[in-house]
Amino acid sequence: MESARNKLTREIVEAEMLWQLNDFDPKGYECWGCGIDMAPRSWRKENKMRPNFSKYPNQSHSKDCDADAEEKIVNQGLGKKHSIKDKLENSPGLSPSRLVLIEERKHIGGQVDPNDKTAYSSVNSNGKNKEVNDDTNKKSRRPANTIRPICRAFINFPYDRNMSLNIPGISGNNYINIFKKLTNNEIRKYNEKKIFYSSLQWKKIKYNDELLIIPLTSGIWSDNRPEQTYKIYVDWSTWSKAKKTMLLNELTAAQEEAKQAKKEKKEDKAWVFFIGEQDQINFDIFHVKDQRLICSIIGDIIYPQLNT
């Protein structure tokens, strides 16, 4: 599974977050749908595979577990064949309705100071019954705290990109008009902010203490070589080492996944999605500062003709 709930903080965390934690309790996670224990897998920093959560072999999800149901919907791939709007409208995690950036907490690794009332004011004494975010209990679309689940939905449900979506600072009200693929064969200025995306080049990603440069494939190529292609400058000078590791791991994992997909003759590519500021002088450069506004996901993005 791509996400699980931290038992102490009650927050739903994406598996990629595990790359960022230096120290966490592997027994500290549970299914957000039914509460069974979930084991973090493949989370070591040196691991080139993307982390995930899986149930222990001796346990099963409850029959009405939303998390389990959602995973099945994605794995069946029905959303890539036709609209599954009814399912998306009634499931919490599949198709986020908006992006809500919450303040980051220093103890996300699981060590919660029970006296710290500001951070988890609604965690009660046994930490079980009350949700920090009541939306998690409803059978309706939940907001996302990073763009990653939103980008997964964009890939997974191409026939339902007319579903509502709200991203602060971005014009547009659904998945179709909030996402924009960077152009091929030209470098242009974009007047509106969108969730831009492009596939990732396979070459080694360069970085130093202040800056990470992500090479994208969109842009101008000649003779199969990038002549002038878009790139993302991630100003990570203020990030912790762990945060830097997480982004770098995600990018290199996506490159590896894309190479593997090519070997298997699949259409999947490594996509980079981001919300950034286009450079005012060099239009091929976008600047990103916030880690929650960039992610890299493997997948095949299709564009069906929609009658809407």
Using CA atoms, how far apart are residues 100 and 94, in angstroms rounded to an integer? 16
CB 286 within 8 A of CB 196: yes
For Zn ion (CB under 5 A), the number of binding residues is 7
Using CA atoms, how far apart are residues 97 and 299, in angstroms rounded to an integer? 21
Of positions 21, 34, 39, 119, contacts Zn ion by CB under 5 A: 34
What DSSP assignment string belongs to 154-189?
Answer: HHH-GGGTTSB-B-TT---SBHHHHEEEPPSS----
Query: Considering the complex, what minimum distance in angstroms separates the CB of residue 241 from Zn ion?
Result: 33
Nearer to Zn ion, 31 or 258 (CB): 31
Nearer to Zn ion, 31 or 170 (CB): 31
CB 248 within 8 A of CB 205: yes
Residue 31 within binding range of Zn ion, rule CB under 5 A = yes
Residue 33 within binding range of Zn ion, rule CB under 5 A = yes
Nearer to Zn ion, 74 or 293 (CB): 74
Using the 8-state DSSP alphabet, how is residue 192 labeled? Answer: S
Using CA atoms, how far apart are residues 184 and 178, in angstroms rounded to an integer? 19
Query: Considering the complex, what minimum distance in angstroms separates the CB of residue 10 from Zn ion?
Result: 15
Residue 38 within binding range of Zn ion, rule CB under 5 A = no
**Among 32-40, 105-113, 199-207, 264-272, which window interacts with Zn ion (CB under 5 A)?**
32-40
User: Residue 207: CA atoms inside 13 Å, Cβ hemisphere, count?
Assistant: 21
Rg of the chain, C-alpha, whole Å: 19
Q: How far is CA 257 from the centre of its chain?
A: 16
Query: Considering the complex, what minimum distance in angstroms separates the CB of residue 6 from Zn ion?
Result: 15
Dihedral (CA of 201, 21, 43, 78) sign: negative
Query: Considering the complex, what minimum distance in angstroms separates the CB of residue 54 from Zn ion?
Result: 11
β-pairing verdict for 277-278 and 3-6:
unpaired
Nearer to Zn ion, 34 or 242 (CB): 34
Nearer to Zn ion, 140 or 184 (CB): 140
Structure tokens at 118: 């500001």
Structure tokens at 106: 């220093």
Residue 61 within binding range of Zn ion, rule CB under 5 A = yes
Nearer to Zn ion, 65 or 246 (CB): 65
Q: Which of residues 5-24 bind Zn ion (CB under 5 A)?
A: none
Using CA atoms, how far apart are residues 119 and 212, in angstroms rounded to an integer? 31
Nearer to Zn ion, 34 or 285 (CB): 34
**Among 63-71, 154-162, 233-241, 244-252, which window interacts with Zn ion (CB under 5 A)?**
63-71
**Among 53-61, 142-150, 159-167, 264-272, which window interacts with Zn ion (CB under 5 A)?**
53-61
Q: Which of residues 64-93 bind Zn ion (CB under 5 A)?
A: 65, 67-68
Binding residues for Zn ion (CB under 5 A): 31, 33-34, 61, 65, 67-68
